[in-house]
Amino acid sequence: MSDAAHPPAGRETAAVAKLFLKLGCTAFGGPAAHISMMEQEVVRRLGWLSREEFLDLLGAANLIPGPSSTEMAIFIGYRRAGLRGLVLGGVCFILPAALIVSAIAWAYVKYHQLPQAAAVLYGIKPVIIAIIAQALWNLGRTAVKTKWLALAGVVAVGATAFGANPILVLLGTGAVVAAARGLGPRHGAAAFGAPTIFGLAVPAAGATALPLAPFSIGKLFLFFLKVGAVLFGSGYVLLAFLRGDLVERWHWLTENQLLDAVAVGQFTPGPLFTTATFIGYVLGGPVAAAVATVAIFLPSFLFVAVGGPLIPKLRRSIYAGAFLDGVNVAALALMAVVTWQLAGAALVDLLSVGLAVAALAALLRWSINSAWLVGAGALVGLIKAIVR
């Protein structure tokens, strides 16, 4: 961490800004693609980090809440140019996507009723469902390490389907898995044999959901700040939080508006969390877009600055590792339930179903960059509108 302790000259800070502005404009395809591009740049092309150092940062990014690829940009900036690099690495990676998404949101608010916009989104939404399904498959093979973790995931699916608070599902599952680890191999099964305790506690929390609430900038800020501070796992888990509060509890968005927001976040470069920028603009214009963007990303900067040095200790802890295993399977449970729910709004006829199946097959068989598939879905939607 010598680079972080002794920030290099201004030219290094400028180099960090230049690199992440470029990546912010060109990094399509989701977190895995973003991280691959970062590795190519900072390890192979620029030599800023060794492969081992890069993997250490990647492990740290996966152990703290927030969008992993954005946190990688923040970590790399910090390692290269200290606190100035920390800020610039993250801001320069986020800013291009936030500006692009804001422009699209402006057009959406003004023209979203036009057939052309509806046609594009018709083709994109099934592809988004396929992309999330592929992420579930890939992440699930890594996260579900034992039969007890699989059982914990099933309980989390059930709790989520019955209206559980997503935060309690994540933290509760992590706590149960950590407690089971503490009981040891002989008693671990017994701990998981009492899922009804967890199952009853979580829906009870869900039962306290607030009624319809009027929109306010302050409430929007606190909501996205909370999401950025507690969201583990893939950016797609964001859907569960957005749907639970913005669609079901407060009715600020419709199901289709939520899918539109996710679609925009997917087919633009940079982090998927700029979905918050789109939602903020739709709800309250440019000011709300800026507020939502700052709120959802702010915790990541703080976690990297304050918690980074603690990561090695957490990784050596048996109980912290077990807690994170539980959080990971709960995150997959949230993803699974919300994907099923959103599929009902996206798969509306045989063509949309076929498009989702074809996109999923392409992702699983040939690992095609998701940005190309999103573009293909948009083209299919336009062609359908023209020939109809």
Q: Which residues contact 278 (CB under 8 A, 6 or more apart)?
A: 101, 102, 104, 105, 108, 260, 261, 264, 265, 289
Spatial distance between the Cα atoms of 64 and 317, rounded to a whole number of angstroms: 15
* Listed residue (186, 231, 240) closest to 67, CA to CA: 231
Spatial distance between the Cα atoms of 365 and 374, rounded to a whole number of angstroms: 17
Domain boundaries, the chain: 2-94, 113-387
How many helices, marked H, and strands, marked E, lie in the chain?
18, 0
Binning the chain into helix, strand and coil, the percentages to the nearest 5 are 85, 0, 15
Burial (0-12, 13-18, 19+ Cβ within 10 Å), 220: buried
- DSSP structural state of residue 274: G
Q: Which residues contact 235 (CB under 8 A, 6 or more apart)?
A: 30, 31, 67, 271, 272, 273
The pLDDT assigned to 50 comes to 85
The pLDDT assigned to 289 comes to 97
Spatial distance between the Cα atoms of 288 and 283, rounded to a whole number of angstroms: 7
Show pLDDT as tens, one digit a residue, over the chain (388 residues): 444 444 445 788 999 999 999 999 877 766 766 887 888 889 888 999 888 788 778 767 766 788 888 999 999 999 899 889 999 999 999 999 999 999 999 988 887 654 466 777 788 888 878 877 877 787 787 778 888 899 998 998 898 888 887 778 878 888 888 888 766 544 443 333 333 323 333 333 333 444 467 899 999 999 999 999 988 655 557 877 898 889 988 999 988 888 888 878 877 888 889 999 999 999 999 999 999 999 999 999 999 998 766 656 665 678 877 887 887 788 788 778 877 877 887 898 999 999 999 999 998 888 776 768 888 888 998 898 888 7
Instruction: Show the tokens assigned to 263.
Output: 């679609």
- Counting every residue written for the chain, the total comes to 388
Q: What is the pTM of this model?
A: 0.67
What is the maximum span of the chain, computed from C-alpha positions, in angstroms? 64
Tell me, what amino acid is at 227?
V
What angle is formed at CA 349 by the lines to CA 343 and CA 354, rounded to 5 degrees? Answer: 80
173 vs 61, 100, 201, 204, 258, CA distance in Å?
21, 37, 12, 15, 26
8 A C-beta contact, residue 60 and residue 35: no
* Listed residue (118, 114, 120) closest to 381, CA to CA: 120
